Amino acid sequence: SLGNIQYVRFVGFRNYLQLFNDPLFWQALQNTLYFVLVGGPLSVVVSLGAALLLNSKLVRFKSFFRAIYFAPVVTTLVAVAVVWRFVYHPRFGLLNYFLGFLGINPIDWLGDPTYAMPAIILLAVWKNFGYNMIIFIAGLQNIPEELYEAARIDGANARQQFLHITIPMLAPTTLFISIITMIGYFQLFAEPYVMTQGGPLNSTLSIVLLMYQQGFRWWNMGYSASLAFVLFVIILIGSLIQFKLQKRGEVA
């Protein structure tokens, strides 16, 4: 009991030894890295694409579309889960309904280990890309228009302007968004907890969800704390790698 320090005893590195010998930890780590390496870049690309679209002169009613794109961020996950469970329903789901027009058999999106992870990532990207989009829009609006005017005078097309002006000028913003997105996917909890409870067959079990289960379902607080520290170290290493890559890109 944590309420009585007489029952607290030091166990050294036993929790870490147990952790690194636990197949469930390695499964959760593999799933979490999948979330980060697939969901992270996808979220950044979708956010940047939406920001470029809303910042262009081709779109009218920009404030309206910004509000629409940002709405999922402020919507409670319970309400989102109800909607997406209907979308992913194996028999009556909206997604399978459209796949039926293509002659594709219905897919059990949340019950099949092959499709459960992409389904969770799609939900996470849709739920959170609006926040990054707003930051990208702010970064785009801080780029001096004179740079684009000078490039057009020199004969640069839209693609060249994007590669040689927009991308370099957005580098600090992109680094910030990449780091917070990476951290967000390392800490992914609500989506797999609400949609699949880490299943099927632990195929969507994240480290934070495992931490929650160990700490608050089985009351293995020491083991859960060890998971938290290992996750902190992993996030720190990932952030340092991104900083190094960014500096190397600036030098190049």
Q: Please indicate, yes or no, if residue 1 is contained in any of the structural domains.
A: no
Two tokens at 249?
A: 């890109």
Residue range of the domain that includes 36: 8-251
Q: Please indicate, yes or no, if residue 17 is contained in any of the structural domains.
A: yes
Number of structural domains the chain divides into: 1
pLDDT in tens, 122-152: 999 999 999 999 999 999 999 999 999 999 9
Split at pLDDT 50, 70, 90, the class of 249 is low
pLDDT in tens, 40-80: 999 999 999 999 999 888 778 888 888 898 999 988 888 88
**Does the reported pTM lie above 0.75?**
yes
Check residue 48 and give its pLDDT.
95
**Mean confidence (pLDDT) of the chain:** 89
Split at pLDDT 50, 70, 90, the class of 4 is low
Two tokens at 38?
A: 């697939």
Q: Please indicate, yes or no, if residue 237 is contained in any of the structural domains.
A: yes
The domain that contains 84 carries what CATH number?
1.10.3720.10
- Angle at CA 196, nearest 5°, toward 191 and 199? 125
For residue 3, pLDDT over 90 is answered with: no
Q: Please indicate, yes or no, if residue 215 is contained in any of the structural domains.
A: yes
